[in-house]
Chains A and B, each alone.
Chain A
Amino acid sequence: MANYFNTLPLREQLEQLGKCRFMDMSEFADGVEALKGKKMVVIGCGAQGLNQGLNLRDSGLDVSYALRPEAIAQKRQSWKNATENGFTVGTYEDLIPTADVVLNLTPDKQHSSVVEAVMPLMKEGACLSYSHGFNIVEEGMQIRDDLTVIMVAPKCPGSEVRAEYVRGFGVPTLIAVHEDNDPKGEGLALAKAYAVGTGGHKAGVLMSSFIAEVKSDLMGEQTILCGMLQTGSILCFDKMVEEGIDPGYASKLIQYGWETVTEALKYGGVTNMLDRLSNPAKIKAFDLAEELKQIMRPLYNKHQDDIMSGHFSKTMMEDWANDDKNLLQWRADTAETNFEKTPAGDVEISEQEYFDKGILMVAMVKAGVELAFETMTAAGIIAESAYYESLHETPLIANTIARKKLYEMNATISDTAEYGCYLYNHACVPLLADFIKGIKSDVIGKGLSVEDNGVDNARLIEVNTALRSHPVEAVGSVLRGHMADMKKIV
C-alpha cells in the first residue's frame, strides 16, 4: 500500500489540507434520521468504541459490536464492556454482513488487518467509518468502490464523549468524507447523523478532510500536546531538584501545574494564560517563550515535514512490524524518569501559585502552542484545524498528567501519539540542554523575587500587543465563542 497523500498532485494536497469549516447548528436539523433503522456495527470496544456506542444507542440507533473470536472466547475486557452494557456481540462473520454502517474504532495499528478482514464481509453499498484517518491517508488503504467512507472523530477521550452526552451536551467533533469513496453521495449525511448521535453537534462540528485531520492531528499530538508536556515535565523537575527545591513539591507543581495553567488557556487562549501572571513575570515568560521558539522551531519543522512526507508513519510502521521495540523501550525509559518516580508531596499549592512559580511551564506551553500552530498553518493546514490540534487539546492532555503523570498521559493517548511523543522528547531534551543550564528557580519553583511589580510601560505594551495579535488568538476567540457553553461545564 502506498501513502495516499503522496499519490495526490500538489494542487489536491493543498486543497485537502485546507479543508476545515465550522459547521452551523442548522446543518444538523435532520438529526439522526440518515441512520435511523440502519444497523451500526462497531468494531472494537475500548474507550472510544464503547462510549460512542452508548451514545449512539441512547440516540435511538441500532448498535452492536463485532469482536474477534478470541476476544469473545476468552471473555476479554472488550467482550465484557459490550455485554455488560447490554449490547449484542458477535464475530465479524455474524454481524458485518448485516451492517449498514461499520464503525472501525480499533487502535490505528490494527486498522489494516481489521479493514482487510471486514471489507470482504461488508454488504454492497454499506458505509465504513473511521475515527482517525491514518489508515486511509498514511497506509493508503484502498476501500471497495461501492463502499462509502467517512470519518467522525470526537476531539476528546472516550470517557468525556460519554460524560458530556449524559449531561445533555457533547464534545467538539471533526467529520470528513473520503471523496474517493462516496459512490452514492450520502457520506456527509451519514457523518452528520453520526455526529448528532454522539452529541457532537451540540459542541461544534468541523467539516474537514481525511488528510487535514491526519496531518494536523499527528503534528499536534507529537509536539505541543504530548511531546512538549513530557519534555517540559522532565526538564522542569530535574531543574527544580538541582536548585534545591523539595522533590515532592516539584513533583506536585508539575503534575497539577500543566492542568492549572492550561485551564486558563482553555478559557482565554495564550493571552489569558499569560495575563494570570504578574507583569514582570509575564514579560519574563514572554521572553523565555521567544527563546524557546527560536531553539525549537527547527524541531517543529522537522516533525511537520516528516509527517507530510510520510517519513514519520513509515518509521512508526516499521516499529509496528518490529514488535514495537522502540515504543516499548521508550515507554519503559519514561517510567524511570525522576519526575515519574517522585510522588507529589503533601503540600498545599494554591491555584495562583501554579502560575507564579511555574513561569517556565507557562512559557513552554506558549512556545509549543504557537510553534505548532505556526508550523501547521505554514504547511497548508487551515487555522481552524491547527487551533483544535494545538491549543484546544492541550488542556485535555494536561488533565491526564494531573491524574497519573506521564504514565496516564501515554496510556490514554493512541500508540501513534505516544510514538510521536517519544520521538519529540528524545530530540527536544538535548536540544534544550544549553537553554536549561541558564534557568534558575526564579522561573520554576520559587517565583520571581522582585522588589515590586513595576515594569517598563513600553515593554509591557509591546508584549501585550504581541500576545494578543498572534493568529492563534484570532481564530481561537472565534471558535471559543462558538463553544461558549463548553466552558460552563468542564
Chain B
Amino acid sequence: MGSIRLDNILFNKVTVNFDDRFTLSEINWTIEPDQHWVITGTNGAGKSALAAVLAGVGEIENGTITGLPQNVGLVSFEAQAELIAKELKKDDADIMDVISLGTPVHEMIFDNCQDPELAQALVEKFGLSQLLDRAFRKLSTGETRKVMLIRALSSKPDVLILDEPFDGLDANTLTMLQKHLASIVDTTPMIMVLNRFDEMPDFITHIAYVDNGKLALTVDKKDENAFNELYQLLHLKTTDLSVPDADPANKLPALDPNQPLVRLKQATIKYGDTVIVDKLDWTIEQGQHWQLSGPNGSGKTGVLSLITGDHPQCYTNDIFVFGFQRGNGESIWQIKQFIGYVSTALQWEYRVSTSCKNVIISGFYDSIGMYSKSTDNQKKIADQWLALLGMEDRADHPFNKLSYGDQRLLLIARAMVKHPPLLILDEPCLGLDDMNRQLVLALIEKICEGKETTVLYVNHHAEDQIKGIENYLGLKKNN
C-alpha cells in the first residue's frame, strides 16, 4: 500500500439532519483507509446525503463520527450547484454598472491548487485548455463537472468523495477519468455514489446500501453471493420493468364479481380430539388484501390449506372458493388454478432438478416440476420474469443449485406468472437473511402494484409489512 496514513472513519449510531428536509438515522459504519466504497440505493434513499456527511455537511443530532479527514475532495451535483450559485451571486452583488465576467476557469482550478502539475495534465486530458479564460458560470454542465473533478483530484485529498462522478461525461472523458482513478487507488481512499452497478470500477472493495435514510447493508465485494444479491435488489428496486402480463392462452375462467373469493363458515380442523382451528368464519372479498397472523401452532397454515384444498378436512367443512362449494365434484386443480402460493414448505417440496425457467413456467400448471411441453409464449413470459428478477443469465441453471433466497424469488414469480385472483404468501420471508428479505419484499411490492390479484399475506414478523394491506385476521393458539 502507498502513503495512506489515515485512521478508520467510524460512524457510531449517527443521526444527521439536513435542514429538516432529510434525516439519516442510526448509521453505524466503519471505513478503513485501504477500502474503496460505493454507496448505492434507490432514488431518495439517502445515498448523496451519506456521502455529504463525510464532507462535513449536515447537522449531527446524535452519535459520533471519528476519523473524518481534514482534506476531502468532493464532487457532487449539490456541490456543483452550490459553486455555480455562488458565482451567480457574485454577479448579482456587483454594484457597479459593468458586466461582470465572473471567475475564470483557470482561477477556479489553479488558485489554492495543491498539485498544479496534475491539474495542468488533467486540463489537457479533459480538453479544457481552450476554456481556461472563460467564465466558470458560462460553462456547460458537463464542463463545470470536469472543473469540479480537476479541483478535487488535484487537491491532494485525504479522501475522495465522488457522487455520481460519471454522470454526464462523454465516453472519452469517462475512460480517462476511470483510468486516472485506477492509478491513484493506492494513495487515495475513494467513496463513490453510484446508481448503476455496471459503472462500478474494479478497484471498489465495499458497497454500502442505503435505504430509507438508513445504512441498510454493507457488503464486501469479495463475498460474491452477497454482491449478486445486492445487485439483484437494486435491480428490482430501480428497474422500469413491470410485472409481465399473463398468458392469454391460459385464461382462467371468469369469476362472478359479486361473489367473495373465499368464504369459510365455522371452519374447524381437528386431529382426534385436538382442535387446531375452531369454528372460524372468514370471507375474503375480491380486491380485499388480508394479513393473517398468529403464533406457531395457531393453525395459520391449516386455514390456508383449507382454502387451497391441500388439507383433507376441506371436504368436511363449509368452504366456498372461487365459485365452488367444496365437495361437489370439483377437482383440486380447478381450485388451484385460481391461486398463486408461496411458502417455505413449498420450497422444501420443490426438490427438482429442473431449470429456473421451468420453475416459473410450472406456475401455469400448478405443478412441482414440469410434465407438459411449454408453449413459446409461456417461455417468453418466463424470460420476462427472469429479467425482472435480474436473473436472465441463470434461465437454464438448475433450480436446486440456487441460493435459498433466489429460489424464493423464483417461487414467487411462479406463483404470480398466471396472475392468479388470489396470491397466498405464507411467511414469504421466513428463513431469509436481511438482504433476501428486502429482495422478496421489493418483489412483492412490485406485484401488489397490479390490480387483479388479491393478496393474502401470512406472517408473524411485524416488521415485514406490505403496503396496501388493510385487513387483519389474528389467530390465537387453542388450548
Contact = CB atoms under 8 A, between A and B. Distances in A.
Contacts of B362: 168
Interface in B342-383: 349, 352-354, 362, 365-371
Given A37-B329, A58-B332, A60-B331, A167 B369 contact: yes
A57 B329 CA distance: 8
A59 interface: yes
Interface string B301-319: 0000000011011111000
Given A54-B312, A169-B371, A488-B354, A60 B366 contact: no
Interface in B287-336: 309-310, 312-316, 329-334
A169 B332 contact: no
Contact of A57 (B315, B349, B369): B315
Given A54-B312, A86-B312, A485 B370 contact: yes
B371 A485 contact: yes
B312 A168 contact: no
16 contacts: A36-B329, A54-B312, A58-B309, A58-B331, A58-B332, A59-B332, A60-B330, A86-B312, A86-B314, A87-B312, A167-B349, A485-B369, A488-B352, A488-B370, A489-B369, A489-B371
A303 interface: no
Contact of B368 (A32, A61, A167): A167
B369 A169 contact: yes
Interface residues of A, number: 23
Given A58-B309, A168-B366, 13 more contacts: A32-B331, A54-B312, A59-B331, A61-B329, A166-B310, A167-B367, A167-B368, A168-B333, A169-B368, A169-B371, A485-B369, A485-B370, A485-B371
B272 interface: yes
Main secondary structure of the interface of A (DSSP, over half): loop
Contacts of B332: 58-59
Interface residues of B, number: 27
Contacts of A87: 312, 315
Contact of A168 (B309, B310, B354, B371): B371
Nearest to A63: B315
A465 to B, nearest CB: 31
A489 B312 contact: no
A75 B457 CA distance: 39
B19 to A, nearest CB: 58
A84 interface: yes
Nearest to A36: B329
Contacts of A488: 352-354, 369-371
B275 to A, nearest CB: 13
A84 B271 contact: yes
B286 to A, nearest CB: 24
Contacts of A59: 331-332
Nearest to A86: B316
A126 B371 CA distance: 34
Nearest to B351: A489
Contacts of A166: 310, 349, 368
Contacts of A202: 371
B398 to A, nearest CB: 10
B157 to A, nearest CB: 54
Contacts of B334: 60
A6 interface: no
A84 B269 CA distance: 10
B325 to A, nearest CB: 13
Contacts of A32: 331
A202 B353 CA distance: 19
Contacts of B315: 57, 86-87
Interface in B363-408: 365-371
A415 B354 CA distance: 37
A169 B367 contact: yes
Contacts of B271: 84
Given A60-B330, A168-B366, A488-B354, A86 B371 contact: no
Interface in A160-174: 166-169
A167 B313 CA distance: 19
A62 B329 contact: yes
Nearest to B316: A86
Contacts of A7: none
A85 interface: yes
A485 B349 CA distance: 17
